[in-house]
Amino acid sequence: MGSLELFHLLRPWMLLLLVPAWGFVWWLLRQQNDVQRWKTLVNPALLKHLLLESNAKASKIQAPWHLGIVWTLIIIALSGPAWTLKPAPFSQDKAQIVFVLKVTQSMEEKDLLPSRLKRTVLKMKDLMDERKDAKMALIAYSGSAHLVLPMTKDHNILNTFAQALDPKIMPKEGDDLNTALELASKQLESKGGTIVVFTDSVNSNGLKNDLLHNPKVILYAMVSSELTDAKSFEKATSVLGGAYVQMRLDNQDVKQVSELMDTAFTTAVSGDNSRYEDGGYWLLPLIVLFMTLWLRRGFIAEAWRVS
């Protein structure tokens, strides 16, 4: 993945070398300025009559300018321009996911067949198939929140536990999403994780966004679009700084959630320079091209010439 939005320098302090480099180039150019040198030896009032002005333009760039250009390119390369994230080792999915399921009596409604809760489990299975290598955890909540399964790559057992969830086994009625989010955040072992909340409704009053690893929170509306309280979901999304996805009968909602997970992971690791490829080597051909000019006869002597 590469993007100009991710462009930055891995070692920006190397650019400080440009100051002495171009200071030295300036000194070389001053040493080769014949007019400037004659001004120190001949009265300026007489000098203007002794010197002949030439209308001929210089046929080549002075050697110190070549030195400055090459040094600039080398210093930029050493500063580590980067814009591409390294691919995950062995192509494994490193983004962690916590599924948070609302398990209440309202989730037994059948506007989504066979029911909201059972459709949730089916959508979870679709996401598991989409992210085969990701580590996932499962939390159920109503009036209280409970860890059903900690982080695991065994998606089959996670699916089995999800199918067993029922409002009757929940110890307390209610809608304590805050506690569920706090518990979900504690399951994430690193930044870049995503919390996916499957719910048919959300109350933004009292919601807090002080999660441990500051993960991406995706509110997955498991209710028919006709019955969805879009304003409540949008308000909660604003509070949590996350995203809101409406359940659809096709698979586009699953793909949308998966893309949001990718975005969350990329954003989280964008500040980790160890995950970036150093793009300085792309400047090597240009550096070599300019350095071939140094092979011409008399270049070194011209660069160090003192008038």
Pairing of strands 216-221, 194-199: parallel
Domain 89-269: CATH class, spelled out: alpha beta
CB atoms closer than 10 angstroms to residue 133? 13
Give CA angle at 194 (191, 199), nearest 5°. Answer: 150
What pLDDT does 2 receive? 46
| 196 three-state secondary structure | strand
CB 41 within 8 A of CB 74: no
Is the pTM here over 0.85, yes or no? no
Q: In this structure, what DSSP letter does residue 100 have?
A: E
Instruction: Using alpha carbons, select from 157, 154, 117 the residue that is nearest to residue 132.
Output: 154
Tokens of 201: 């409704």
CB 101 within 8 A of CB 184: no
Where in the chain are all domains bearing CATH 3.40.50.410? Answer: 89-269
What pLDDT does 1 receive? 44
DSSP bridge partners of 147:
139
As a whole number of angstroms, the distance between CA 114 and CA 116 comes to 7
Spatial neighbors of 190 by CB under 8 A, at least 6 apart, are 96, 213
As a whole number of angstroms, the distance between CA 47 and CA 37 comes to 11
DSSP bridge partners of 98:
137, 195
As a whole number of angstroms, the distance between CA 132 and CA 114 comes to 25
Instruction: Tell me: cis bond preceding 64? Omega within 30 of 0 counts.
Output: no
CB atoms closer than 10 angstroms to residue 132? 10
What pLDDT does 278 receive? 81
CB 194 within 8 A of CB 267: no
What pLDDT does 272 receive? 52
Over the Cα atoms of the chain, what is R_g? 32
Each residue's pLDDT expressed in tens, for the chain with a length of 307 residues: 445 566 777 888 889 999 998 988 888 777 765 555 555 555 566 655 555 554 444 445 677 788 888 889 999 998 888 877 665 544 444 678 999 999 999 999 999 999 999 999 999 999 999 988 889 999 999 999 999 999 999 999 999 999 999 999 999 999 999 999 999 999 987 667 899 999 999 988 878 877 766 788 999 999 999 999 999 999 999 999 889 999 998 899 999 999 888 877 666 555 555 566 788 888 888 888 878 877 766 666 555 554 4
Tokens of 225: 């679009």
CB 137 within 8 A of CB 171: no
Q: How far is CA 173 from CA 91, 142, 207, 221, 252, in A?
A: 42, 6, 18, 20, 32
